Chains A and B, each alone.
Chain A
């Protein structure tokens, strides 16, 4: 009598090996791209410094407004700083891993997507390891602002140490939401090829807007930012609870559910887009 392996178990083990392989692949990619970036040390340092300048000037645009007017719709300087830092961290998380999703237009225009379709992985998974972006400038800057803002609020007793894990959780779900928005936007490229204009609205403008409390905007606009392009869930909604104790603890399961739902919807849209993909003839 021989033991027969249950087919479903076998598929599960196979899938587990595939996932393990993929993670190993990704780690390898991170190692190699770090190494190759380090080969061009000057360029790397130069790019990092410039990225930091960009970040700094973006922050100054917010900080100066705060310094001049003190508070924005009842949100203190520290609170707005927190919004800004949370958004930047989430964006850094998204762009570190998902930069190539954001750059999909290049693949579509130059026909590189065809190459990816000949790989034994789902397109999204073979697209993401094409590039891994190190973003030390953004990380340092947003980390510093977050420390400054949260430090001040802790000293004044507005928040406790509990806010730290809560914030990390929000960074993670925020990164997922931004990734989902980026993926859905990019998927439009399967029809239109050009997506930079759309990204201007759904990514750049939306992220800029969500650095301020949403009460600043007319109702229809903040409504959009909580539903269709849910950037409000990245920093504003978590901050409402973490900093101001509004809403309730249910915010966290809500964020988890919303970010997963966003990713799943974007993924479904992405899949649909790929099935409609017309390669550019060469």
Chain B
């Protein structure tokens, strides 16, 4: 069946909304019995009017503070939760109307939970999953060999899943999600709780999947190194709404954090007397030959700032430092 697939976006979300209704727990006498029949609910807007498109081959980071609606969005995208309103299309398939067909084309990893069989050896889980997704034996062998090379699964091939370390389990879980060779991969906090080494492993695998195999990947994380090293695009969610969608550089700009410029003068420098009110520069620190200033680049062009710094003495060397990504995120999470 050759359906028209080429032109469709990997993920298309339009006007997603999700409300949760939790019954109000009654207080006082016979509370238990009354709350059984009570019709009162608290309505919580978990996600409001979220819409975006992810093209094939993209690598998107989805960030936001706890409780902002990240997981809810992922669950709606993957067909676990029905949106209260709005629409999702994954390569042209509706994951809610056509959940099972869609499920065989996507891979999903929840960092906090394993999809492997708890008390079976790792390889048995792959056998079962291969059958579940209808993966041919020879494909399964080929892919597992590939994953083994990239993730060294061989070390714990025969170990029951419950005895794996967190890092091993995550490697095994990601391989499991890729066993049926989906084109689209969702990862919910894949590096949570891992040590530096394990994180590096996972990241390089995801990078390979994206760059060499052309997989589209969407991940949520709290680790800004994940975003910085992997993602070409970031989406920020706050209070259930999409507050930013674009590149990391763009996010930097949007927040308007100052750039730090450190200037070394050849023969010292002399500050003008009345600099404080006129300048867009703020002096952060100073020593005999060096001066460190913060410049908001949305207000002053870098060349103008340097020209002004040049007026104060003969410049020997200039160092510029972009704002820390961590700092950006701190601002985003507010």
Point out residues on A near B: beta carbons under 8 Å.
21, 24-25, 28-29, 32-33, 35-36, 110-112, 114-115, 117-122, 126, 129-130, 275, 277-279, 281-282
B99: chain A residues at CB < 8 Å are 117
Residues in A whose Cβ lies below 8 Å from that of B108? 115, 118
The docked-state distance in angstroms from the alpha carbon of A281 to that of B81 is 11
Extra contacts, 19 of them, besides A28-B128, A279-B75 (Cβ < 8 A), are A21-B134, A25-B128, A28-B127, A32-B127, A32-B128, A112-B113, A115-B108, A117-B78, A117-B99, A118-B78, A118-B106, A120-B132, A121-B103, A129-B128, A130-B117, A278-B20, A279-B81, A281-B46, A281-B71
* A126 partner residues in chain B, CB cutoff 8 A: 132
Closest 7 A-B residue pairs measured CB to CB?
A120-B104, A25-B131, A120-B103, A118-B108, A117-B80, A32-B124, A115-B115
When the two chains form their complex, are residues A114 and B110 in contact, meaning their CB atoms are under 8 A apart?
yes
- Asked if B160 is an interface residue, CB under 8 A from chain A, the answer is yes
Contact B120–A120 (Cβ < 8 Å): no
Interface residues on chain B, size class:
35 or more
B113 touches A28 (CB 8 A): no
Known contacts A120-B103, A278-B20, A279-B75; A29 and B128 CB within 8 A of each other:
yes
Q: Does B133 contact A (CB under 8 A)?
A: yes
Q: From residue A171, how far is it (CB to closest CB) to chain B in Å?
A: 28
**Interface residue B79 (Cβ < 8 Å from any Cβ of A):** yes
A20 to chain B, nearest CB (A): 10
How far does the Cβ of B131 sit from chain A's closest Cβ, in whole Å? 4
Which residue of A is nearest B131, CB measured?
A25
Question: Is A24 a contact of B131 with CB atoms below 8 Å?
Answer: yes
B100 CB contacts on chain A under 8 angstroms: 119-122
Chain B interface residues (CB < 8 Å from chain A): 20-21, 46, 67, 71-72, 75, 78-82, 99-101, 103-104, 106, 108, 110, 112-113, 115, 117, 119-121, 124, 127-128, 131-134, 160, 188
A275–B83 alpha-carbon span in the complex (Å): 11
Residue among B21, B120, B188 facing the most chain A CB atoms (10 A cut-off)? B120
Q: Which residue of B lies closest to A33 (CB)?
A: B120
User: A119 to B71, Cβ gap below 8 A?
Assistant: no
Q: CB distance A36 to B160 under 8 Å? A: yes
Most B CB within 10 A of own CB, among A35, A112, A115, A277: A115
Question: Which residues of chain A have C-beta atoms less than 8 A from B132's C-beta?
Answer: 25, 119-121, 126, 129
A28 x B131 contact (CB < 8 A): yes
Cα distance A208–B184 in the bound complex, in angstroms: 50
- The residue in chain A whose Cβ has the minimal distance to the Cβ of B188 is A282
A101 to B79, CA, bound (A): 21
CA distance A279 to B74 in the complex (A): 12
Are A115 and B113 in contact, with the CB atoms below 8 A? yes
CA distance A120 to B98 in the complex (A): 10
Most buried by B among A122, A278, A281: A281
Question: What A residues does B128 contact at CB under 8 A?
Answer: 25, 28-29, 32, 129
**Contacts of B134 on A, CB cut-off 8 Å?**
21
CA distance A24 to B80 in the complex (A): 26
A127 shortest CB reach to chain B, Å = 12
CB distance from B169 to the nearest CB of A (A): 14
CB distance from B298 to the nearest CB of A (A): 37
Within the assembled complex, what's the spacing in Å between the Cα atoms of A32 and B132?
Answer: 14
Complex alpha-carbon distance, A21 and B79, angstroms: 23
B69's nearest neighbour on chain A, judged by CB, is: A281
A93 to B105 Cα, complex, angstroms: 35
Distance A32 CA – B20 CA, assembled complex (angstroms): 40
> In the assembled complex, which residues on chain A have CB atoms less than 8 Å from the CB atom of B119?
36
- Which residues on the A side are within 8 Å of B106 (C-beta)? 118
Q: Which residues of chain B have C-beta atoms less than 8 A from A112's C-beta? A: 113
| Complex A-B: 22 CB contacts under 8 Å | A32-B120, A32-B127, A36-B160, A111-B112, A111-B113, A114-B75, A114-B113, A115-B113, A118-B80, A118-B103, A120-B101, A121-B100, A122-B100, A126-B132, A130-B117, A278-B81, A279-B75, A281-B46, A281-B72, A282-B71, A282-B110, A282-B112
Q: CA A16 – CA B75 in complex, angstroms?
A: 30
Taken together as a complex, chains A and B put the C-alpha atoms of A93 and B223 apart, in Å, by 48
Cβ-neighbour of A115 out of B110, B121, B127 (below 8 A): B110
The answer for the CA separation of A275 and B96 in the assembled complex, in Å, is: 10
Q: Please name all residues of chain B whose beta carbon is closer than 8 Å to the beta carbon of A29 when the two chains form the complex.
A: 128
A98 to chain B, nearest CB (A): 18
Q: Assess the A117–B79 pair: CB atoms within 8 A.
A: yes
When C-beta atoms are compared, the residue in chain A nearest to B129 turns out to be: A119
| Closest A residue to B125 using CB positions | A32
Alpha-carbon separation in the docked complex, A32 to B112 (Å): 25
Residues of chain A within 8 A of B127, CB atoms compared:
28, 32
B101: A residues at CB distance < 8 A: 120
By a CB distance below 8 angstroms, the chain A residues around B81 are 277-279
Chain A residue with minimal CB distance to B22? A278
> Whole-angstrom distance between the alpha carbons of A96 and B228 in the complex?
49
Residues of B within 8 A of A281 (CB): 20, 46, 67, 71-72
Write out the residue numbers on chain A whose beta carbons fall within 8 Å of the beta carbon of B113. Answer: 110-112, 114-115
For residue B78, which residues in chain A have a CB less than 8 angstroms away from its CB?
117-118
Query: Chain B residues near A130 (CB, 8 Å)?
Result: 117
Provide the bound-state CA to CA distance between A247 and B36, in Å: 41
Q: What residue of chain A has the Cβ atom nearest to residue B36's Cβ?
A: A192
A35, A110, A279: which contacts B80 (Cβ < 8 A)? A279
A120, B133: Cβ atoms closer than 8 Å: yes
